[in-house]
Each structure stands twice: as C-alpha cells, then as structure tokens.
C-alpha cells in the first residue's frame, strides 16, 4: 500500500514538473528509481505467500497474464488521455486512477486468510481439491 501511495505521489509530482527544466525531472527520476523495482518484488513476494506451493507455476502464470494486461492498459489509457487533451500532464494523472484502484482492491484482500487457506488445497495432476470439502 505504501508503494502505491508513493507511486501516486510521484505521478502527481510529475504533473507539476516545470516545463523545460532538467534538474526537477532528474530529481523525480531518482525517486522513481527507488520504487520502480520494489513494487514488482513486493507484489510477487506477497502473492507468493498466499498461493499453494504445489501449484505455484499455475498461479504465477495467472499473475504473469495480468502483468501483461497492465502493460497494455496503462500505456493505452495514457495515450488516449494524452491524445484527447493534447498534453501529457493530464495523461500522467490518469495513471493515478490505476494506483488508487489497486489500493482499493488490495485493501479488500484478507492476506492472513489467504495465507491460511493455501494449506487446505491438495493437488492431483490438473485438479485441485479443497481438503475442507472432503
């Protein structure tokens, strides 16, 4: 959640960058560099604590598909807003919507319940069976 708040703040800061000045741009780039790799590592590690080890390949495949969708939707929305408004400034703010939606969705995840439930699953080939239902 903290990293999503930081990303939102960075996007808002990018909106207010003065035009034609390199130093503020480089300063913002330094902060982006601090959080860029961490977000992916945090999301994968949190996800890894909630999935059954026996089916981690399948779950990470699902994770990868959604990562590909984010690589499409983010730039697409950015380009559409930029084309409609004629400026990249409102377009960068459109990305904040994704961060806010991500925070809302992540806030609804019961991480402890997910971690506890991963041990209830038993995998036989391509079938998964909830041990609690047996």
pLDDT, tens digit, 9 for 90 and up, residues 28-77:
999 999 888 888 888 888 888 888 888 888 889 988 998 888 889 999 99
pLDDT given for residue 133 in this prediction:
57
pLDDT given for residue 10 in this prediction:
95
pLDDT given for residue 26 in this prediction:
95
Q: Output 53 or 5, whichever has higher pLDDT.
A: 5
pLDDT given for residue 116 in this prediction:
85
Q: How far is residue 116's CA from residue 103's CA, in Å, rounded to a whole number?
A: 22
pLDDT given for residue 131 in this prediction:
58
- pTM for the model: 0.76
pLDDT of 132 over the 70 cut: no
Q: What is the mean pLDDT of residues 98-112?
A: 92
Cβ neighbours for 54, distance < 8 A, ≥ 6 positions apart: 121, 122, 123
Q: How far is residue 133's CA from residue 43's CA, in Å, rounded to a whole number?
A: 30
């Amino acid at each position: 959640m903290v990293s999503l708040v930081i990303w939102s703040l960075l996007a808002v800061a990018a909106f207010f960058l003065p035009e034609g000045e390199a130093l503020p741009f480089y300063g913002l780039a330094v902060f982006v560099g601090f959080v860029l790799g961490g977000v992916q590592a945090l999301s994968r590690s949190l996800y890894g604590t909630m999935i059954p080890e026996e089916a981690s390949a399948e779950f990470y495949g699902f994770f990868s598909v959604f990562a590909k969708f984010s690589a499409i939707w983010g730039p697409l929305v950015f380009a559409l807003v930029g084309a409609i408004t004629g400026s990249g400034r409102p377009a960068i703010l459109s990305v904040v919507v994704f961060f806010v939606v991500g925070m809302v969705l992540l806030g609804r995840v019961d991480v402890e319940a997910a971690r506890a439930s991963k041990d209830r699953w038993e995998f036989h080939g391509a079938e998964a069976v909830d041990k609690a239902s047996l």
